[in-house]
Amino acid sequence: MWRRAPSRKLELTTSAAGSDLSANKTQDDGWQHGFTALRQRNFRLYWTGQLISQIGTFMQVTGQAWLVLRITRSGWQLGLVGALQYLPVLLFALFGGVLADRWPKRTMLIATQSAQMIQALVLWQLVVSNHVQLWEVDLLAVLLGITSSLDQPIRSSIVVELVGKDHLSNAIALNSALMNFARILGPGVGGLVIARSGVGALFLINALSFLPILANLLMMRSDDFFHQPPQLGTSPSRLSALTRAREGLIYVWQSPPLALVIGVVGLVLLFGANFSVVLPLIATNVLHGGATAFGLLSASMGLGALSGTIWLMWSATTPSIARVLGGALAFSIALAAFALSPNLPLALMMIAATGCAEAIFGALATTVLQMIAPDALRGRVASVAILFFTGSIPPGYLLAGWLSSEFGAALGLLICAILCLTTVGIGWWRRGPAEASMATRA
């Protein structure tokens, strides 16, 4: 049963908050400052479980691509299975937000994580039985995409209930660091497992990696959740899921800060976050470094993203619309500089800066959205953001591919950077009403 958090977690008066923040600042000085959110037992359980599970997930992504390549030897099929896994986000993410706002998020997470574990077990069994076929891999990719699209809004919106709003920024930075660490480590370990034990072992390892997060979710204490009463009231139970999803879309559209952040970040990701698609072309046709340059660029991008989230963990940066736009501006400039880089050393520095800036403005945007969203609609706000952020990946890939084929990889990427700069400029010009609306909520 959900309960209000203990009184020590309730909001303080303005004067008390000022003195308390000063005390906390002294207490949080030092290396521990980057891990303040982990002092909350429920979040600590969630974070450590996700760390293991996400490494397994990225190992499976590597294994799935290797399996499709082994079956078909087709680049087209590789792209298709990736698209099939992302497509459900466009169709089901909003309903994930409805589930997050209607049912206890911990219960929903247990269900979605269990479904993903079963998918990995089925794929493992098909591989070890030597009867796996391409259509089965495609079908399982679609099913994984469906469960992931329902799972993502729940994972995004549960964080504030685990740590409260005081430590929300640090918690989101810790989650971002976790994801980037898993994105770097998972494929590397996956490649070693394939070489030593075969691709089937990856799917079994991923299935087993869900056990810690499921156990940790079950061990969470209900009394320790930061669960505030809904600010907008609860919708009548007779409303359909489609109507509830529509409520979330309307609320975002009518809220200037939410609409601005989601619109600007979504467009910047659409125009600019597709640069990984053209990295092979940049490495070979522009930098003339071949596979070695491609590997170095990929590693630098991941390390840059990880360094950005680590910086957020230790910084005292207060999330705001201006800082989100500033991070998006830095991303756009770094992307343009990368596109214009004439040699590998400069390209490595610029791709690291691009990854760093993307991680920072993405985490800041997520924090702002979760801080603004009312409790009754937090899951649906998260689902709208995921729809625009993750949903931008397929069309973004197509845009980058088309521009590269028409103008070359470097010029195509520069055009994408210019589109990002234009989007950020418009957002900066229109930020006034959004910031005024945020001020009235404070």
DSSP string, 278-339: GHHHIIIIIS--HHHHHHHHHHHHHHHHHHHHHHHHHS-PPP-HHHHHHHHHHHHHHHHHHH
* Mean pLDDT (whole number) for 208-220: 96
Are residues 335 and 368 located together in one domain of the fold?
A: yes
* Mean pLDDT (whole number) for 378-397: 86
What pLDDT is stored for residue 411 in this prediction? 92
Are residues 219 and 245 located together in one domain of the fold?
A: no
What pLDDT is stored for residue 12 in this prediction? 32
DSSP string, 346-408: HHHHHHHHHHHHHHHHHHHHHHHHHHHS-GGGHHHHHHHHHHHHGGGHHHHHHHHHHHHHHH-
Does residue 16 sit within a domain? Answer: no
What pLDDT is stored for residue 86 in this prediction? 77
Are residues 171 and 278 located together in one domain of the fold?
A: no
Last residue of a domain, one of 192, 227, 262: 227
Alpha carbon distance 299, 289 (integer Å): 15
**Tokens standing for residue 97:** 């937000």
What pLDDT is stored for residue 4 in this prediction? 40
- 208 pLDDT above the threshold of 90: yes
Are residues 412 and 318 located together in one domain of the fold?
A: yes
Does residue 12 sit within a domain? Answer: no
Q: What is the pTM of this model?
A: 0.80
Q: In the chain, how many domains are there? A: 2
CATH of the domain at 156: 1.20.1250.20
- Going from the C-alpha of 334 to that of each of 167, 284, 398, the distances in angstroms are 30, 20, 22
**Tokens standing for residue 257:** 């800060």
Q: How many helices (H) and strands (E) does the chain have?
A: 17, 0
What pLDDT is stored for residue 121 in this prediction? 96
Last residue of a domain, one of 204, 227, 250: 227
Question: Which position has the token pair 């997930």?
Answer: 57
Are residues 403 and 305 located together in one domain of the fold?
A: yes
**Tokens standing for residue 362:** 């993405």
**Tokens standing for residue 70:** 């082994």
pLDDT averaged over every residue in the chain: 84
What pLDDT is stored for residue 398 in this prediction? 78
- Going from the C-alpha of 67 to that of each of 126, 131, 230, 408, the distances in angstroms are 11, 12, 46, 31
Does residue 217 sit within a domain? Answer: yes
Question: pLDDT tens-digit profile of 131-146?
Answer: 889 899 989 989 998 9
Task: Using pLDDT thresholds of 50, 70 and 90, give the confidence band for residue 33.
Answer: low
Does residue 337 sit within a domain? Answer: yes
Are residues 280 and 201 located together in one domain of the fold?
A: no
**Residue of 202, 204, 205 whose CA lies nearest to 63:** 202
Question: pLDDT tens-digit profile of 283-315?
Answer: 888 888 877 787 788 778 888 988 998 888 887
Are residues 214 and 290 located together in one domain of the fold?
A: no
Alpha carbon distance 322, 312 (integer Å): 16
- Cα-Cα end-to-end distance for the chain: 30
Last residue of a domain, one of 193, 227, 261: 227
CB under 8 Å to 229, separation ≥6 — which residues?
4, 375
- Going from the C-alpha of 126 to that of each of 67, 74, 129, 132, the distances in angstroms are 11, 20, 5, 5
- 102 pLDDT above the threshold of 90: no
Does residue 25 sit within a domain? Answer: no
Of residues 267 and 401, which shows the higher confidence score?
A: 267
- 3 pLDDT above the threshold of 60: no
How many Cβ atoms sit within 10 Å of the Cβ of residue 289? 17
DSSP 56: H
Alpha carbon distance 17, 31 (integer Å): 23
Are residues 283 and 401 located together in one domain of the fold?
A: yes
Are residues 147 and 68 located together in one domain of the fold?
A: yes
Does residue 4 sit within a domain? Answer: no
Does residue 185 sit within a domain? Answer: yes
- 30 pLDDT above the threshold of 50: no
Q: Worst-scoring range by mean pLDDT, 75-79, 127-131, 161-165, 379-383?
A: 75-79
Are residues 306 and 213 located together in one domain of the fold?
A: no
Alpha carbon distance 31, 253 (integer Å): 40
What pLDDT is stored for residue 52 in this prediction? 93
**Which one-letter amino acid corresponds to residue 311?**
W
Are residues 159 and 266 located together in one domain of the fold?
A: no
Does residue 7 sit within a domain? Answer: no
What pLDDT is stored for residue 153 in this prediction? 92
Domain span including residue 151: 34-227
Are residues 296 and 245 located together in one domain of the fold?
A: yes
